[in-house]
Amino acid sequence: MRRRWRAAVALSLVTLLGVAPLAACGPSPAATVSDRYRTYYEVFVGSFADSDGDGVGDLAGVTGKLSYIHDDLGANGIWLTPINTSPSYHKYDVSDFEAIDPEFGTMQDFDALVAKAHAKDVRVLMDLVIQHTSSKHPWFTQAIQALQAGTTNKYVHYYDFSTTPKAGYVQYGSTGIYYSAVFSPSMPDLNLDDPGVRSEIAGIVGFWLGKGVDGFRLDATTSYYPHDAAAGVAFMRWLESTCRAVNPQAYLVGEAWTDATSLTSLYASGVDSFFNYPFATVSGKLNAALTARDGTGLSQATQAWNETIHAANPAAIDAPFISNHDNPRPSGYLMRSPQLEKLSAATYLLMPGNPFIYYGEEIGMVGSGTDPNKRMPMVWSTTDLTGTTKPPPGGTYDESAVVPVDQQLKDPGSVLSFYRAVLALRNRTPALARGTYTSITAGDRSVLAFSDAYQGTTVYVLENLDSAPHVEQLDAMGLPASVKVRDHLLTDGAQAPSLSGRALTLPPGSVAVLR
């Protein structure tokens, strides 16, 4: 039944489209506005929460932690890293696109997760890995069998094979068969030009959207057509249309680990968002601004970036982040300083768009070097290990210095409590995510200042990136005479920002929100 339904969906689609600091026990910081703008929480499923005691995180574990993700933290969307059947721990080499890997549970577990998430108005994104398959996928094994027998079948056309060595191709065993594999010999590249492959992809997205998934994170988009950027954009335009035909509100966010110019060009595909790599990680503009205490430069860069992506796609939604499962965790390069972690969080979580938080970032987890060390078990507690997973294969990072969730929830000065406060502010101030961002030049370059205009309301934000207090003259910055300090955030428990006449005093590391 599943295969027949999927094939019918695929055929119809191909025919249609063509080839303020929040107290730990205070109110929930969850959002009150339900639309396409969300704060997403990336869950590396195998390392997040274990429901059955086998040491591997699973879907039922994620379901059990939705109250933490939504009610405690304030996120209103989740991105699940791959959950399809796969021979690897990370699941980025799929062997069945329409099944749940048994390590993570059952389809019933998935349905329960989606149902509970939607009951909380939490959107669910799946990782869509369609640049390649596992070498264990039946499509690939049947193609190899045909080639070895000197015959052919439709699956031979699903991949790029050769009888001679080529750059980017690997040999299948000791045979004379070679195939394209950008990432690994265990990940043969799909031929995305093949109508059969496109029909399969249409069926896959239709299947999961039909199951209630709200959208997809598109893995490795720059590798769809690594030597033809225009073809990659055209393919994503087809994929976007294919998803919209099933669910017009489906949300797509692409991974494109590339430079700003190349990333901007991808927005012409119509894909809603691309992860904002130019601003992210240790080498991005956000960390550079924190290091140099250059608030003016950062606000100007943020305005320019948003204007650029909206020129390419007027409906674009930026996707800021500072860490994910492929990059070093920020606590390490922020010297494990709670104040710097809070300042970094405030900086990117107050940007427009849909920010993405990597699990454990909000409690200061660490990890760098090999990939497994960036994907270590979520630290829920040091006394009650229920739900704690084993490290992934090869994971050796020591997380013993990390203060666990249960302790940080009780500490109003913790990094986690600060994340809660930022998200509560973001969720009760719709203009922050949705507004038109305009850079404001403050009197001191270390003050990040900007406005967000949305539906007739303008919000003004000033963030002091410095370790010294600063006094800013609102008249000199062009702020209206009627504005008052309506909200604030503190990174070190210092005195709150204060307005005396038209002079705003910003303590070190503080954020003031004026309306």
Task: Name residues whose C-beta falls within 8 Å of residue 420's C-beta, 6 or more positions apart in sequence.
Answer: 22, 24, 29, 72, 73, 74
- Based on the residue annotation, tell me whether 219 is a catalytic residue of this protein: yes
Active site residue 255: yes
Joined together, the tokens standing for residue 57 give: 């995180």
Q: Is residue 350 a contact partner of residue 450, using CB atoms and an 8 Å limit? A: no
Q: Within its chain, how far is the Cα of 391 from the centroid?
A: 22
Classified as helix, coil or strand, 428 is helix
Cα separation, 205 vs 336, in Å, equals 40
Residues 6+ away with beta carbon under 8 Å from 400: none
Phi, psi of 358, deg, nearest 5? -85, 130
Instruction: Compute the distance between CA of residue 447 and CA of residue 465 in angstroms, rounded to an integer.
Output: 6
Token pair, residue 257, equals: 């680990």
Q: How far apart are CA 508 and CA 447, in angstroms?
A: 10
Please give the Cα distance from 10 to 156 (Å, whole number): 20
Query: Cα dist. 29→25, 118, 350, 423, 429 in Å?
Result: 11, 17, 15, 6, 12
Catalytic one of 255, 341, 399, 472 = 255
Q: Which two tokens stand for residue 251?
A: 């949300």
Select which of 219, 341, 472, 487 is catalytic.
219
The Cα–Cα gap between 450 and 439 comes to 4
Q: What is the DSSP letter of 385?
A: -
Cα distance between residue 362 and residue 331, in whole Å:
10
Q: Which letter does DSSP use for residue 478 in this model?
A: T
Catalytic residues: 219, 255
